[in-house]
Amino acid sequence: MSRTKNKIEHMLNLALALSLNHYKFYLDAAEAVSSPKTKALLLVLAESEESLAGEIEDMIATGIVDEVEKAADFDEEDSPDETPFALERMDTDPRIYICNKSLEQELKGYTFFLSIAARAKSELVSRLFEYFAHIKREQITKIRRVCETF
C-alpha cells in the first residue's frame, strides 16, 4: 500500500508542477499584454490553474477519493479542437499570439494527463488523470470561446 501511495504522490507532484508552470505562464503573459479582453482571458486561465494546483495540493495532503469519484461521472469526451487561431495574424496581432500560446499550453497538458491515464497501472491513477485531462479540456473550451471573437 505504501508503494502505491508513493507512486500516486509522485504522479500528483508531476501534475502539480505542470499546473504551476501553466499558472506562471498565464500570470506573466497577463502582465505583458495590453488588450483588456486578452488580459481577462489570461487571468481567468491563471485562476483556473491556481484552483487546479490547490486541488492537487489538497489531494497530496488528504487523498484522491473525491476526484476519482468525479472522474467516474465523465463520459468519453471528444478530443479538443487543436486548430490554432488565425496563423496569418499571429505575428501582427498579440491577442492571436497569446491565444495560440495558451491553446498550445493547454493541449500539452491535456495530452500529458491523458497519456499518464492510459499508461497507469491502476484504475485509480487512470481515473485521476482522466479528471485532470477533463479540467484541461474545459480550459481549452474557455480559450476557444474568447479567442474566436478576435
Give the pLDDT band (50/70/90) at residue 22.
very high
pLDDT for the residue 82? 86
Looking at the structure of the chain, the number of domains it has is 1
Give the distance, in angstroms, between the CA of residue 59 and the centroid of all CA atoms in the same chain.
16
- pLDDT tens digit string along 91-101? 888 888 888 98
- Mean pLDDT across 4-9: 71
Give the pLDDT band (50/70/90) at residue 1.
very low
Q: What is the CATH number of the domain that holds 54?
A: 1.20.1260
- pLDDT tens digit string along 119-147? 988 887 888 888 889 889 988 998 898 88
Nearest-angstrom CA–CA distance, 33 and 38 = 7
Full residue range of the structural domain in which residue 53 is found: 2-147
pLDDT for the residue 69? 65
Region label for 120, one of left (φ > 0), alpha (ψ between -120 and 50) or beta (otherwise): beta
Nearest-angstrom CA–CA distance, 105 and 10 = 22
Inter-axis angle of helices 36-62 and 123-147, to 10 degrees?
170
- Mean pLDDT across 103-110: 93
Number of Cβ within a 10 Å radius of residue 58: 13
- pLDDT tens digit string along 23-77? 999 999 999 988 888 888 899 889 989 988 998 888 887 777 666 666 666 666 6
Q: Indicate the burial class of 87 (C-beta count within 10 angstroms; 0-12, 13-18, 19 or more).
A: exposed
Nearest-angstrom CA–CA distance, 10 and 13 = 5
CA dihedral 19, 109, 146, 134 (to 10 degrees): -90
Residues in the chain: 150
Query: Structure pTM?
Result: 0.73
